[in-house]
């Protein structure tokens, strides 16, 4: 992959890009006019975090309102949804959305799920004013960028409830247990220790439970993270 | 009717769904698992059944009942995907759950939307992982504490030749091989990444051997002090039972979470 792509990806991963600018790299690297990055659905809430222009935020808004559209589909299927000619060959899965978006300058629309392992956090919407195909390599690049955004959105959600909040209990025994559970997650998945910890916190956040309780479930074997069909699933 | 469309269309001039149709859509989505009739949807939309049908057809291009069916198919798809292996879920059960009276007809519709049979979704997602191996059955919890177990410390010292080359090499490996999930790439410092790579190798090696289970992996990174000495590192003394609290003060630094924070 190109040097510019790699540089952009590492900038996204490092946190040097501000939340409000998360949509910028997508527009710069891909043949699209606009982009929006949003959290969608329960439990992370519907919120546009970064939109490159009015149309991009409008596309989000319509989907928030209607509760249907490519974003929802991308999140549900945990796969990109590619509509390269939405005016003439739109999917029949979201008739209301198609109808509503017909009045926007949108010819092609691509939605990528934003996930962190099993956690479905939101979606990235890309649009072009005219029908536009995406090459497989571009789909791969957009997926990689979306995954990098996933870590950011999750960190953001966890930070929003504040350190010392209900999710992370600072008592030493809790911390020890969470640490121990992180090691168990590391025996289950090929991720870094920091990401394993983030996964525990995200899981706790999604269920509105303290991280310590999640850690207990991991330690007792009640909760496992497993790869299945290319996706991570939680078995409880 | 007309006035409703008008007032929604004002402003940006872009919202074309009238309020009754939106209300109907919402009602359908919320009640798709119940038995609902056209009259119920119409009541929720404050139109007559005939009025709703006309509005729906005009604005959404399908009838309300067709729309309901597609929402239910979506539900079937979701449930099949989320099925757990131990659950012994059947396609017929899911179809009933979503109020399809005829499983065969549902399957045909499902195939035309998703391109595969519903049973394939169920089997693929609950049976096998990408290697074609059967997903591990959850044996944890069954006399887990009774099985003999021990901890093994592999103390490694790693030299950094070129950090950028290392990063690029890890990314390349992951792009080609199996990743934790699509698009996953580790982030962090050199020590985090080396811990990641070695942990990965460890998991692989342990899974190649029958008869053991790798319970946990705990990277503990130590960097040399200015004199070039490594601070001593003691194992945190956690047991299966409640952790020992008094050790905490002394061993803060042995927590990799603290170091990466």
- Tell me the C-alpha distance between A177 and A187, whole Å: 16
Residues 213-232 of A with CB under 8 A from B: 220-222, 224, 226-232
A66, A99, A191: residue with CB nearest B184: A191
- Tell me the C-alpha distance between A37 and A114, whole Å: 9
Is the pLDDT at A1 greater than 80? The verdict is no
pLDDT tens digits for B124-169? 544 333 333 333 333 333 345 567 888 888 889 999 999 989 988 9
Percent of chain A whose predicted confidence (pLDDT) is above 70: 91
pLDDT tens digits for A63-72? 998 888 999 9
A116 φψ region: left (φ > 0), alpha (ψ -120 to 50), beta (else): beta
- Tell me the C-alpha distance between A40 and A60, whole Å: 9
Is the pLDDT at A130 greater than 50? The verdict is yes
Residues 168-187 of B with CB under 8 A from A: 168, 171, 178-187
A58, A102, A187: residue with CB nearest B216: A187
The whole-number pLDDT of residue B237 equals 67
Query: Which residues does chain A have within 8 Å of residue B15's beta carbon, measured at their own beta carbons?
Result: 62, 100
Whether residue A191 and residue B186 make contact (CB cut-off 8 A), yes or no, is yes
Number of helices followed by number of strands (H, E) in chain B: 11, 0
Burial class of residue A139, CB neighbours in 10 A (0-12, 13-18, 19+): middle
User: pTM for the whole thing?
Assistant: 0.63
- Side-chain half-sphere exposure of A205, counting CA atoms within 13 A: 27
Q: Quick one: average pLDDT of A24-38?
A: 95
Residue B159 structure tokens = 């030299």
């Amino acid at each position: 992959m190109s040097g510019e792509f790699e540089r952009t990806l590492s900038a996204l991963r490092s946190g040097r890009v501000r939340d409000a600018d998360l949509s910028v790299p997508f527009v710069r690297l891909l043949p699209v006019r606009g982009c929006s990055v949003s959290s969608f659905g329960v439990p992370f809430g519907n919120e546009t975090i970064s939109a490159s222009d009015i149309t991009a935020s409008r596309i989000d808004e319509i989907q928030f309102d209607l509760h249907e559209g490519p974003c929802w589909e991308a999140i549900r299927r945990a796969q990109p949804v590619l509509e390269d000619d939405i005016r003439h060959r739109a999917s029949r899965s979201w008739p209301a959305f198609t109808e509503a978006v017909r009045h926007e300058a949108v010819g092609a629309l691509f939605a990528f799920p934003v996930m962190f392992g099993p956690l479905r956090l939101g979606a990235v919407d890309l649009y072009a004013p005219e029908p536009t195909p995406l090459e497989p390599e571009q789909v791969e690049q957009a997926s990689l960028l979306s995954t990098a955004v996933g870590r950011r959105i999750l960190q953001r959600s966890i930070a929003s409830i504040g350190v010392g909040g209900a999710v992370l209990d600072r008592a030493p025994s809790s911390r020890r247990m969470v640490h121990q559970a992180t090691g168990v997650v590391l025996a289950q998945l090929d991720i870094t220790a920091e990401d394993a910890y983030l996964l525990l916190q995200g899981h706790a956040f999604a269920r509105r439970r303290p991280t310590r309780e999640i850690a207990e479930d991991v330690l007792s074997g009640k909760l496992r993270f497993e790869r299945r069909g290319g996706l991570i699933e939680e078995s409880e | 009717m007309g006035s409703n469309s008008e007032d929604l269309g004002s402003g940006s001039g872009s919202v074309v769904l009238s309020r009754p149709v939106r209300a109907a859509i919402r009602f359908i989505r919320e009640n798709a698992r119940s038995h609902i009739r056209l009259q119920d949807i119409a009541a929720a939309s404050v139109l007559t059944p005939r009025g709703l049908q006309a509005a729906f057809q005009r604005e959404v291009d399908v009838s309300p009942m067709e729309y309901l069916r597609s929402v239910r198919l979506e539900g079937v798809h979701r449930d099949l995907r989320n099925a757990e292996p131990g659950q012994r879920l059947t396609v017929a059960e899911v179809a009933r759950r979503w109020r399809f009276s005829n499983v065969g007809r549902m399957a045909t519709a499902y195939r035309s939307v998703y391109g595969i049979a519903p049973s394939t979704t169920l089997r693929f997602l609950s049976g096998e992982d990408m290697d074609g191996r059967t997903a591990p059955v959850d044996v944890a919890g069954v006399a887990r504490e009774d099985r003999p177990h021990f901890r093994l410390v592999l103390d490694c010292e790693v030299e950094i030749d070129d950090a950028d080359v290392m990063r690029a090499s890890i990314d390349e490996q992951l792009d080609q091989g199996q990743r934790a999930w699509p698009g996953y790439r580790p982030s962090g410092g050199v020590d985090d990444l080396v811990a990641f790579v070695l942990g990965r190798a460890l998991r692989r090696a342990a899974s190649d051997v029958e008869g053991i289970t790798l319970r946990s992996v705990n990277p503990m990174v130590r960097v040399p002090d200015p004199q070039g000495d490594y601070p001593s590192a003691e194992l945190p003394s956690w047991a299966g039972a409640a952790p020992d609290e008094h050790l905490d003060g002394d061993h803060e630094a042995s927590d990799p979470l603290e170091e990466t924070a």
